Amino acid sequence: EAQVTQNPRYLITVTGKKLTVTCSQNMNHEYMSWYRQDPGLGLRQIYYSMNVEVTDKGDVPEGYKVSRKEKRNFPLILESPSPNQTSLYFCASSIDRGAVYEQYFGPGTRLTVT
């Protein structure tokens, strides 16, 4: 089954404790991205990757890092989480950057930073 998976689905952590949210897709997609979803603000892109070892900032990259060492995986790293990073996070993928209108989203990771 074609899908985007994320882990963990729920995470509660404390300020400053480094964490990683994993994302994996099995569709051989080149383009992957991370979004956060907040009430009243909608989905905002954090980082994206057009291919292995090619990443770039989205609209709200501050406080986040990413890496793309393999085509299927695109982890999101919060090196020193803060309460304002409490949010619902989604990973997404598409065939390539020209097909971003046809993205597949993961199930989401709800992060709470206390």
Partner 1 sequence: QKEVEQDPGPLSVPEGAIVSLNCTYSNSAFQYFMWYRQYSRKGPELLMYTYSSGNKEDGRFTAQVDKSSKYISLFIRDSQPSDSATYLCASFFISNFGNEKLTFGTGTRLTIIP
DSSP state of 90: E
CA distance 36 to 47: 10
Considering beta carbons, is residue 52 or 100 the nearer one to partner 1?
A: 100
In the region spanning residues 2 to 61, those forming contacts with partner 1, defined by CB under 8 A, are 4, 40-45
Cα–Cα distances (Å) from 59 to 10, 85, 90, in that order, read 24, 14, 14
Please pick, from the candidates 34, 85, 90, 113, the single residue that binds partner 1 as defined by CB under 8 A. 90
Q: How far is the CB of 105 from partner 1 (least distance, A)?
A: 4
Residue of 58, 55, 62, 107 lying closest to 81 (CA atoms): 62
Asked if 97 is part of the footprint of partner 1 (rule: CB under 8 A), the reply reads yes
Q: Would you tell me which residues interact with partner 1 (CB under 8 A)?
A: 4, 40-45, 90, 92, 97-98, 100-108
